[in-house]
Amino acid sequence: MKHANTAYAARKLMLDSYRNGDFKKSIDSGQKLIDSYVLSKTPPTIERADDFYNFAFICAEAGDYRKAIDLYTKSYVTVRTMCGENHDYTARLTNLAICYAGIGSSDIAVGLFKKADEILSELKSYAKNDWISYDHRNNLYNLANAYDAAGMHELAAETHEKQLSLYPLNDVIFADSLNCIGYTFEKREKHEVACRYFADALKIKKHICGEYSEEYIADLVHYAEALVCADNHKTAMNVFMRAAGFIKKAHTEADNCYIQVVEKAAECAIIIGELDKALKLRRRILKIIKSIMGETHLIYSEALRNVSTVYKQMGELEKALKYILRALNISRLLLGEGNALYEKDVALACDLYMRLNMFDKAAELLGKNKVPHSSNL
């Protein structure tokens, strides 16, 4: 009776503390609960298995996967011994697999997820239970990701495809699974195939999450990056600009993500030879950075350097020189002359001076005893 009261109090405090977000008190109470079972020397029960299961879940949530693995193992052994390989058993098995994945033991995780899949498939075949169907779908998702982490990318894609058939088309998890399949093709450097999956996922995310959601924008940017890897820079540029438009409306132009995405669009424009477009985008970035940070910041000097690069490619060398000299003055002001960034700016400026036949200016900038390295010009 004394043990029952101790266990009840520890169990209640463990669960209440977890619900209130107090992990330390929850874990301390969970350990007292486990210790009470050890001291009681009573035979295993389903109640004890459930206590081990709940405490394992809390430990995993707190990031202590190794402790959770020990607790889940003890819990599933009891359930299997007393009840067989039922639905409760697979719940412990899948959570155990997730913990093994959490510590990087992908091969073990794969084996556990596969075992759970066999049991859940059998249970689903004769039990009209929504929970079993739900757990079966989730287990397949986890199994596919475990395959992927273990480097078995083809099996990962096949398992995600199998999982897709169990979800409605308008489900976020369906879209996430499409993305996961895309990632497996990315890892095999089949970028064009990956892009098709990303594009299909985006259609679903747009409908469910909306164009201005963080999730949709992040997926859109990743799709554009995948298009770059597939050498489809024209489409990538347009997708980057779409993403930038959504970021601007959801936040502001001053958002760092907006600046980064516009710069990626500018890089694509340079690759496909649309230099006017690239110049327009980089001048926009320059203006935004100036409004945020002023004209004496290294990020502003980098933006000046980027604009100079485009002018140089356009053959407008005098304008390119104007911008690189401004960048040079900032790097010298903030860092002094004895640093790699300043020397890089000097080399770029000297290159432009010499292309413009302004050799005296190049010599003046370099100094009498300095000669630019050809690799920097």
Please indicate, yes or no, whether residues 210 and 255 belong to a single structural domain of this protein: yes
Please indicate, yes or no, whether residues 267 and 331 belong to a single structural domain of this protein: no
136 in a domain, yes or no? no
Higher pLDDT, 370 or 28: 28
What's the rounded Cα separation, in Å, for the pair 182 and 196?
8
Please indicate, yes or no, whether residues 174 and 251 belong to a single structural domain of this protein: yes
Average pLDDT over residues 39-49: 86
Question: Which CA distances in Å does 286 have to 41, 289, 298, 332, 346?
Answer: 72, 5, 12, 19, 21
Residue count of the chain: 377
Please indicate, yes or no, whether residues 185 and 246 belong to a single structural domain of this protein: yes
State the burial class of residue 104 (Cβ atoms within 10 Å of its Cβ: 0-12, 13-18, 19+). Answer: exposed
207-215: which pairs have CB atoms within 8 A and are 24 or more residues apart?
207/170, 208/170, 208/172, 208/175, 209/172, 211/246, 212/246, 212/249, 212/250, 214/250
Please indicate, yes or no, whether residues 210 and 175 belong to a single structural domain of this protein: yes
Task: Please report the pLDDT score of residue 129 as a whole number.
Answer: 58
Please indicate, yes or no, whether residues 306 and 268 belong to a single structural domain of this protein: no
In the chain the first and final C-alpha atoms are separated, in Å, by 85
What's the rounded Cα separation, in Å, for the pair 221 and 373?
38
Q: What is the pLDDT of residues 182-234, one digit of tens each?
A: 999 999 999 999 999 999 999 999 999 999 999 999 999 999 999 999 999 99
227 in a domain, yes or no? yes
Task: Please report the pLDDT score of residue 130 as a whole number.
Answer: 65
What's the rounded Cα separation, in Å, for the pair 119 and 280?
59
Which two three-digit tokens encode residue 118?
Answer: 């066999």
213 in a domain, yes or no? yes
Please indicate, yes or no, whether residues 207 and 259 belong to a single structural domain of this protein: yes
Average pLDDT over residues 46-60: 93
Q: What's this model's pTM, rounded to 2 decimal places?
A: 0.78
Please indicate, yes or no, whether residues 267 and 311 belong to a single structural domain of this protein: no
Q: What is the pLDDT of residues 72-105, one digit of tens each?
A: 999 999 999 999 988 889 999 999 999 999 999 9
Task: Please report the pLDDT score of residue 125 as a whole number.
Answer: 64
102 in a domain, yes or no? no
Task: Please report the pLDDT score of residue 40 as a whole number.
Answer: 80
368: confidence class by pLDDT, cuts 50, 70, 90 = very low
What's the rounded Cα separation, in Å, for the pair 217 and 209?
10
Share of the chain above pLDDT 70, in %: 94
Q: What is the pLDDT of residues 94-152, one digit of tens each?
A: 999 999 999 999 999 999 999 999 998 888 765 555 667 778 888 898 999 999 999 99
Position of tokens 């405490």? 55
Please indicate, yes or no, whether residues 261 and 200 belong to a single structural domain of this protein: yes
Per-residue three-class SS string for the chain: CHHHHHHHHHHHHHHHHHHCCCHHHHHHHHHHHHHHHHHHCCCCCHHHHHHHHHHHHHHHHCCCHHHHHHHHHHHHHHHHHHHCCCHHHHHHHHHHHHHHHHCCCHHHHHHHHHHHHHHHHHHHHHCCCHHHHHHHHHHHHHHHHHHHHCCCHHHHHHHHHHHHCCCCCCCHHHHHHHHHHHHHHHHCCCHHHHHHHHHHHHHHHHHHHCCCCHHHHHHHHHHHHHHHHCCCHHHHHHHHHHHHHHHHHHCCCCCHHHHHHHHHHHHHHHHCCCHHHHHHHHHHHHHHHHHHHCCCCHHHHHHHHHHHHHHHHCCCHHHHHHHHHHHHHHHHHHHCCCCHHHHHHHHHHHHHHHHCCCHHHHHHHHCCCCCCCHHHC
Task: Please report the pLDDT score of residue 38 as a whole number.
Answer: 83
- Contact in structure between 234 and 268 (CB atoms under 8 Å): yes
Please indicate, yes or no, whether residues 268 and 182 belong to a single structural domain of this protein: yes
Q: Residue 369 pLDDT > 90, yes or no?
A: no
Q: Which domain holds residue 368?
A: 294-377
Task: Please report the pLDDT score of residue 7 as a whole number.
Answer: 80
Task: Please report the pLDDT score of residue 374 as a whole number.
Answer: 36
CATH number, domain with residue 266 = 1.25.40.10
222 in a domain, yes or no? yes
Domain stops at, among 237, 272, 307: 272
Roughly what angle, to the nearest 10 degrees, separates helices 172-187 and 130-149? 20
Domain count, the chain: 2
Q: Among the listed ranges 39-43, 97-101, 183-187, 312-316, which one has the minimum average pLDDT value?
A: 39-43
339 in a domain, yes or no? yes
The total of other beta-carbon atoms located within 10 Å of residue 38's CB is 8
What's the rounded Cα separation, in Å, for the pair 223 and 211?
14
Question: Which CA distances in Å does 252 have to 215, 237, 258?
Answer: 17, 20, 8
Domain stops at, among 219, 239, 272: 272
341 in a domain, yes or no? yes
Q: Residue 371 pLDDT > 50, yes or no?
A: no
Please indicate, yes or no, whether residues 254 and 177 belong to a single structural domain of this protein: yes
Please indicate, yes or no, whether residues 368 and 318 belong to a single structural domain of this protein: yes
What's the rounded Cα separation, in Å, for the pair 145 and 249?
34
317 in a domain, yes or no? yes
372: confidence class by pLDDT, cuts 50, 70, 90 = very low
